[in-house]
Amino acid sequence: MSREQLIKMTEHNIAHSKAGTIDMEPDVFKVPATKYYAQDQYEAEVEKIFKRVPLLLATTAELRNPGDYKAMEAVGVPVLINRDSKGKIHAFMNMCSHRGAALVELGCDNAKRFVCPYHAWTYNQNGDLIGISSKEDFGEIDKSEYGLVPLPVIERAGLIWVCLRPNSDIDFDAFLSGYDDLLANFGFETWHMHDQRTLRGPNWKVAYDGYLDLYHLPVLHSKTFGTEISNQALYYSWGPHQRVSSPSPFMIGLEDMPKDEWDTNLMMMGVWTVFPHVSIASFEGGGRSVMLSQLFPGKTPGESYTVQNYMMEHKPTPEQEVEADKQFTLLEYVVEKEDYATGLRLQKALETGHKDHVLFGRNEGGGQKFHSWVDRIIETADEDLNKLFAGSNQ
Ligand code: FES
Ligand SMILES: [Fe+2]
């Protein structure tokens, strides 16, 4: 099924590559500049987007073994994701039921049970409260009512999505819109997490715009990626998620081969974004690899941070590791010193209030769709959210 979709996209790419064309949006699109810095807009995005839709918070590579866990914060919410002894993934608030202490420090580790560092209440891997210290002194409570607060979670295609609202009835399948079937072609279940870095950036949408934008590549990145790179983009969408690829002469070469021999890895090239905050871009650096970038709004509208995850198809040999480190350092430089440095300056300029709107051209369909989705989700009531995603499936 997903291979058929890949072949269709590749044929579409070949047709455009031969004609030297791209798909064009009907019009140039305006985004009010205030959307990048107004406090009420920022709060609406945090509450209505980041706290309502599933977020891609972890990878199978980080939690491969029974007992593995990852503790993190997402828009201020402390999250604990773990794999139980049967291999099932759970997500909880990283918050003790006694008085709310964080159960574990931020980061990844392995534990059979979680013992709170404050007064040593103990929870099992299913989040059940299994031990109250000095129970006879504490007094009677019903332990079954004081398990950890669970968060909705799914693991698909070697990636883990969590919803930050405990009682959410979010329909993960409607939200993913079949996009997980496409992402499954990477085979992330068996990939290796090589390295992770965190970068500070401008407003999360300023930062995210850059991942959907190939228009800037040969200009802003002329000193790093070079000027020979295409600035043309083809966008494909599944619900709010978008894949970006460039019309490419490499694709034309595939025409000489029967379609069932077309290389899946070649057909997967480009950038795969996962709404609202993730980008997955393929690279070769010490072997097949991707940079999976997770963007999060910061404490103010003008701040964000990005966790760059460098994942590799295979654990690298020592020589490959040198290559991979070089590649990752270059990508860190490109994003921090070129993309985000530009973003931070434009953010400052927009915040003066002396600009009414910014523009996304007919060639920048990715940004047009992304901003439309941000608006639509903010305007959608809780009870209509699943319908919104279900109705958008192609
Ligand atoms: S807050 Fe965790 S045991 Fe008291
Ligand atoms: Fe860039």
Using the mean position of ligand 1's atoms as its centre, give its distance from the Cα of residue 123 in Å: 11
Is 101 touching ligand 1 by the criterion CB < 6 Å? yes
DSSP 8-state class, residue 367: H
Is 96 touching ligand 1 by the criterion CB < 6 Å? yes
Specify whether the CB–CB gap between 49 and 170 falls below 8 A: no
Domain 2-53+177-390: give its CATH architecture. Alpha-Beta Complex (3.90)
Determine the Cα angle at 83 with ends 79 and 85, to 5°.
145
Angle between helices 204-211 and 341-350 (to 10 degrees): 130
Backbone angles phi, psi at 238, to 5 degrees: -130, 110
Strands in the chain per DSSP E = 29-32, 55-59, 68-74, 77-83, 89-93, 107-110, 114-115, 122-123, 129-131, 153-156, 159-162, 192-201, 234-238, 241-245, 271-274, 278-284, 288-297, 304-312, 357-360
For the CA of 119, the closest atom of ligand 1 is: 3
Which residues have C-beta within 8 Å of that of residue 387, sequence separation ≥ 6?
A: none
Q: How far apart are CA 191 and CA 193, in angstroms?
A: 7
Helix, strand, coil percentages (3-state) for the chain, rounded to 5, are 35, 25, 40
The rounded Cα 186 to chain-centroid distance in angstroms is 15
DSSP 8-state class, residue 20: T
Sign of the torsion angle spanned by Cα atoms 184, 186, 192, 193: negative
Q: How far apart are CA 192 and CA 55, in angstroms?
A: 21
Q: Tell which phi-psi region holds residue 336, choosing left (phi > 0), alpha (psi between -120 and 50) or beta.
A: alpha
CATH fold, domain 55-169, is Rieske Iron-sulfur Protein (2.102.10)
Boundaries of every domain in the chain? 2-53+177-390, 55-169
- Say how many C-beta atoms besides its own lie within 10 A of residue 349's C-beta: 10
- Say how many C-beta atoms besides its own lie within 10 A of residue 355's C-beta: 14
Give residue 249's pLDDT.
85
Give residue 393's pLDDT.
63
Nearest CA, atom 1, ligand 1 = 99
Residue listed under structure tokens 């709310």: 100
pLDDT tens series, the chain, 394 aa:
589 999 999 999 999 999 999 999 999 999 999 999 999 999 999 999 999 999 999 999 999 999 999 999 999 999 999 999 999 999 999 999 999 999 999 999 999 999 999 999 999 999 999 999 999 999 999 999 999 999 999 999 999 999 999 999 999 999 999 999 999 999 999 999 999 999 999 999 999 999 999 999 999 999 999 999 999 999 999 999 999 999 988 889 899 999 999 999 999 999 999 999 999 999 887 889 999 999 999 999 999 999 999 999 999 999 999 999 999 999 999 999 999 999 999 999 999 999 999 999 999 999 999 999 999 999 999 999 999 999 886 4
Q: How far apart are CA 380 and CA 310, in angstroms?
A: 35
CA torsion, ordered 287, 333, 188, 388, to nearest 10 deg: -150
Using the mean position of ligand 1's atoms as its centre, give its distance from the Cα of residue 111 in Å: 18
Specify whether the CB–CB gap between 378 and 384 falls below 8 A: no
Residue listed under structure tokens 């209440």: 121
- What does the block give as tokens for 237? 């969408």
CA atoms within 13 A on the CB side of 362: 7
Is 274 touching ligand 1 by the criterion CB < 6 Å? no
Regarding pTM above 0.75, the answer is yes
Specify whether the CB–CB gap between 67 and 112 falls below 8 A: yes
Q: How far apart are CA 291 and CA 308, in angstroms?
A: 6
For the CA of 121, the closest atom of ligand 1 is: 3
Q: Are strands 278-284 and 114-115 parallel, antiparallel or unpaired?
A: unpaired
Specify whether the CB–CB gap between 234 and 23 falls below 8 A: yes
Which residues have C-beta within 8 Å of that of residue 233, sequence separation ≥ 6?
A: 22, 213, 214, 215, 244, 245, 246, 363, 364, 365, 366
Give residue 285's pLDDT.
78
Give residue 394's pLDDT.
47
Q: How far apart are CA 12 and CA 256, in angstroms?
A: 16
Is 118 touching ligand 1 by the criterion CB < 6 Å? yes
Give residue 27's pLDDT.
98
Is 98 touching ligand 1 by the criterion CB < 6 Å? yes
Specify whether the CB–CB gap between 162 and 111 falls below 8 A: no
